[in-house]
Structure 1
Amino acid sequence: MMNGHRELNKVLNTKDVLVIAFGAMIGWGWVVSSGQWIQTGGVLGTAIAFAIGGIMIFFVGLTYAELTTAMPKCGGEHVFSFRAFGPVGSFICTWAIILSYIGVVCYESVSFPTIIQYLFPGYMKGYMYTVAGFDVYASWVAVGVALAVIIMVINMIGTKKAAMLQTVLTLVIAGVGIVLAAGSVFSGSPENMGTQLFNSESSSLVGSIARVAVMTPFFFFGFDVIPQAAEEIKVPLKKLGKLMILSIVMAVAFYTMVVLSVGYVLNANEINTSMSTTGLVTADAMAKAFSSQMMAKVLIIGGLCGIVTSWNSFLIGGSRAIYAMSTSYMLPATFGKLHKKRKTPIFAIALVGGLSIIAPFFGRVMLVWIVDAANFACCLAYCMVSLSFVVLRKKLPDMKRPYEVKHYKLIGFLAVALSGAMALMYVIPKTGCTLNVYEWIIVGGWAAIGVFCYIWSKVKYKEKFASEVFHEV
């Protein structure tokens, strides 16, 4: 096997880094979940909750920013955790983050054809079978598979091409969000906001805000895609760290803008009606703001772009994590090979992309279980990266850190505590996020596959196992 670390093309500039990270965090949730957020915490309460959730992710982001600039190598978490904990810790951390990326990619491949139904209600044709109560149609599968193939091929053609797609779609999302905000200013009313600043039905103001705050970090997953592609970025290292933090701030601002806009246009009764009918509260707010149902479809198109940006970003992240493990002899050598001309990890991309092609055949319900399992895996990886940050400050105090975090003990403690708490929420009963038996089966099955791969790679590659993690850029 030929190690390919030196051969990755540095093609991603400042704009590319921002749109990949921001696009990963802005998916479809801002279209379908705004009503739930407002009903739970109120408009202002939700805005406060997103600020709190953003702060939680901000601390984790700071640890990523320092570690990425200190070790700008493909694989991100793979390298950080190896330096801190060795092969076992590195394998666990990277294997967890790969599950989180695959989960999102597969879920987006079933979300896209589902949302198309809102735009074209009659397109569901050719009933095939039912999975966990979800009817699977041939036309629905075809849409998901077709887009999965397109996104996979674009990524194989080149990372820059994938970044160009990301830029166009992210601009559409931002444009739609700004149009919604502008429309709300002219068509909304302070009276709508005044009756639902906070959840008046809740006996605890703090509790209602906390219930939303607990959900918000899961809408900020994705900034960690940047470390995966670190060797393909041509940006000064100190600036790269700042860009990662900026992407988180931009995501917090976007979600807050959407919630305030919806609350300014729709009153509590209108939000309740929207939740019980279309469920697309943000789209209904857009329709009212411009007195046009066509504008609701425009916003849904923006949401569809959000699905694709998340899908594209996590395909980049997942394939690079697999590639990094393979080039360090911790997974089969095939996944570490690059295309001779385009310098993309085509087999790693094919693996993640192939799973997204298969996903629509399993319906949507089963994929919800995978996403919940993936969220738990992501929180676990975040906690291990945060721990790596703390350990490496003591273990390698003289390591060059272009983006050096101040007050590292406090930041490290908060990052570990908050990411660890997020992970525990999936384990502790009655938190609202606790994994069900099917999701534990997925986590357990993924762990078992990981154990098999670890043992197989160690037996096959012997002394080469984990020997290339520090290959210099």
Structure 2
Amino acid sequence: MEERQQLKKTLKPHWVWAIAFGSAIGWGAFVLPVDWLSMAGPLGVIIGFSIGAVLMIIIGVSFSSLIEKLPVTGGGFAYAYYGLGRYHAFICGWFLTLGYVAIVALNASALALLGKFVLPSIVERGYMYSIAGWEVYTGEVIVACVSLAVFALVNIRGASSSAFSQFVFCICLFGGVTLLTIAMIVHPTSSFSNLQPLFQPGVGSIASIAAIIAIAPWAYIGFDNIPQAAEEFNFSPKKAFRIIVIALVFAALTYSMTVIATGIGQPWMEAVQAGSVWGTAMIVENAYGTIGVILLSFALIMGILTGLNGFYMSASRLLFAMGRAKVLPAAFGKLHRSHKTPHVGILFTLAFTLFAPFFGREALLWVVDMSALGVTIAYFYTCYIAYRLFKWSDNNDKRNNKRATVAPRRKFLCLLGILSSAGFLLLLIVPGSPGFLSTPSWIALFVWLGLGALFFLVKFKHIRAIPKAEMDHLILGDFKDKEETSDMRDDLENASS
């Protein structure tokens, strides 16, 4: 059995919290509140995001259960392998890879977008062309590419430095949002009456809330970065669930505060009708002038940087796990000689995302919208596999459940996670639903599926030829229960052989 490369255990609990919370809060929390208000009204948005956070916490039960069982990097890729075998692992890993890498690129483009609002004379220089109605400038491409290169370097130099930076960014992020919200509440022109009506007129409270719940998988993508870092925990994996809950609560509070800060400054329906490109900035500027916009921009920059940093970490760890398992070229499974970081995955993410700014933000949004589907599929895999870890009682001793632990409450929560994941999936794929993917996103999805199918066919013989014991060792490591892989997985492996 060849030597298995392993990541160093350097991450502290509050750093992991920052990875999850910071990754879940991006540009949307600061740029989209007026759009959300137009969909659901203030109370509809807050209730929708709160319910979404609760559903994510339920899904988090499955993640934390598998983190305790399998404290290895790879997240959904490793869990799909553990429960259903190498082919399902490839499918899950393929979807997650695009999701994580696309969000890295999106955050870099968001930094350039902020520059267009705040420093247009600098960023909007050197007009190049237009794609999907979006004008691409040399200035914004340089801003995005430089930010991508800087965070690649930070991540290569060590998990400790990138995780500590993430924690500092998150403190600044939450502190900035809290200060901004308090400032808007105490301003003389602000009034809670501006939040009326609480729901979007003519839509109904239930439909308004459902429209916000539909975007919860997109809004909270990032808490699932925690399992990608599990191999680097310098603490007990049993703390994972508490960290997930705290991160999601902070994320829900942040979304709620930005909505309140936006809606309280002036009647929110007037803000919607104004049609401003950045409604929140317009309202804050009306109240506090340039100082207010600076504070808002500071919090937004922190949100963008936490997304860049957090998803660089998760993307590189996922690529490392797949490379170590020989599903991807073996180079991805190697660690940097000095820094002991998955540098090949980081450099690949950098190379892949450096092309993104040239395609314009609108085209990139199509890919990111599609990637929400891939992340939701990973949620479903995780909840299903966690569900099979437990059984309702000792009387239930079916063949595929004989090694499960009696834990009816956890099994019930995992079942709710399955249903929640399936519901999110339907909201994305059923025509007429609030989260239904746009036509360009469907095209991007089928292109990615086609590439995945082609890559799988090329690698099929190689992946199939790896002995099961070796792949167990490479993906699952030496944890004490590695021989207790599920009977369903064994059946699938034997059938494929």
Matched, 1:286 2:292: no
Structure 2 Cα separation of the partners of residues 41 and 440 of structure 1 = 25
Structure 1 residue 405 displacement after superposition:
7.2
Unaligned stretches of 5+ residues in structure 2:
392-399, 480-497
Structure 1 Cα separation of the partners of residues 152 and 453 of structure 2 = 28
- Counterpart in 1 of 2:374? 377
Matched, 1:343 2:340: yes
Q: Which residues of 2 match residues 360-371 of structure 1 at below 5 A?
A: 360-371=357-368
Q: Deviations over 1:303-350 (max 9, x none)?
A: 122112112111111111111011111111011110011110111111
- Counterpart in 2 of 1:305? 302
Structure 2 Cα separation of the partners of residues 319 and 385 of structure 1 = 20
Q: Deviations over 1:212-248 (max 9, x none)?
A: 2222332111111110111111122221221112211
Matched-pair contact (CA < 8 Å) for 1:109–1:357: no
Structure 1 Cα separation of the partners of residues 35 and 129 of structure 2 = 31
Amino acid at match of 2:103: V
Matched-pair contact (CA < 8 Å) for 1:100–1:371: yes
Matched-pair contact (CA < 8 Å) for 1:390–1:409: yes
Q: Deviations over 1:263-287 (max 9, x none)?
A: 23322354235x512x323333433
CA RMSD of aligned residues (A): 2.2
Task: Summarize the Cα distance change of 1:392–1:197 in structure 2 as closer, same or farther, 3 Å threshold.
Answer: same
- Counterpart in 2 of 1:451? 453
SS of equivalent residue, structure 1 residue 469: helix
Task: Summarize the Cα distance change of 1:285–1:180 in structure 2 as closer, same or farther, 3 Å threshold.
Answer: farther
Matched-pair contact (CA < 8 Å) for 1:96–1:377: yes
Matched, 1:157 2:157: yes
Structure 1 Cα separation of the partners of residues 250 and 401 of structure 2 = 32
Deviates more, 1:385-394 or 1:307-316: 385-394
- Counterpart in 1 of 2:466? 463
Matched-pair contact (CA < 8 Å) for 1:425–1:434: yes
Matched, 1:265 2:265: yes
Structure 1 Cα separation of the partners of residues 93 and 322 of structure 2 = 8
Structure 1 residue 111 displacement after superposition:
1.8
Matched-pair contact (CA < 8 Å) for 1:63–1:405: no
- Counterpart in 1 of 2:100? 101
Task: Summarize the Cα distance change of 1:36–1:225 in structure 2 as closer, same or farther, 3 Å threshold.
Answer: same
Task: Summarize the Cα distance change of 1:283–1:437 in structure 2 as closer, same or farther, 3 Å threshold.
Answer: closer
Q: How many residues align?
A: 464
Task: Summarize the Cα distance change of 1:471–1:37 in structure 2 as closer, same or farther, 3 Å threshold.
Answer: same
Structure 1 residue 379 displacement after superposition:
0.8
Q: Which residues of 2 match residues 80-95 of structure 1 at below 5 A?
A: 80-95=79-94
Task: Summarize the Cα distance change of 1:3–1:229 in structure 2 as closer, same or farther, 3 Å threshold.
Answer: farther
After TM superposition, the score normalised by the length of structure 2 is 0.88
Amino acid at match of 1:380: I
Q: Which residues of 2 match residues 70-81 of structure 1 at below 5 A?
A: 70-81=69-80
Structure 1 Cα separation of the partners of residues 462 and 192 of structure 2 = 67
Task: Summarize the Cα distance change of 1:464–1:455 in structure 2 as closer, same or farther, 3 Å threshold.
Answer: farther
- Counterpart in 2 of 1:114? 113
Amino acid at match of 1:345: P
- Counterpart in 2 of 1:171? 171
SS of equivalent residue, structure 2 residue 341: coil
Structure 1 Cα separation of the partners of residues 39 and 264 of structure 2 = 17
SS of equivalent residue, structure 1 residue 235: coil
Amino acid at match of 1:286: V
Matched-pair contact (CA < 8 Å) for 2:12–2:234: yes
- Counterpart in 1 of 2:485? none
Q: Deviations over 1:93-126 (max 9, x none)?
A: 1211112111211222222112111110212111
SS of equivalent residue, structure 1 residue 407: helix
- Counterpart in 2 of 1:392? 389
Once the two structures are aligned, what percentage of the paired residues are identical?
A: 28
Matched-pair contact (CA < 8 Å) for 1:331–1:453: no
Structure 1 residue 399 displacement after superposition:
6.7
Matched-pair contact (CA < 8 Å) for 1:43–1:263: yes
Unaligned stretches of 5+ residues in structure 1:
none
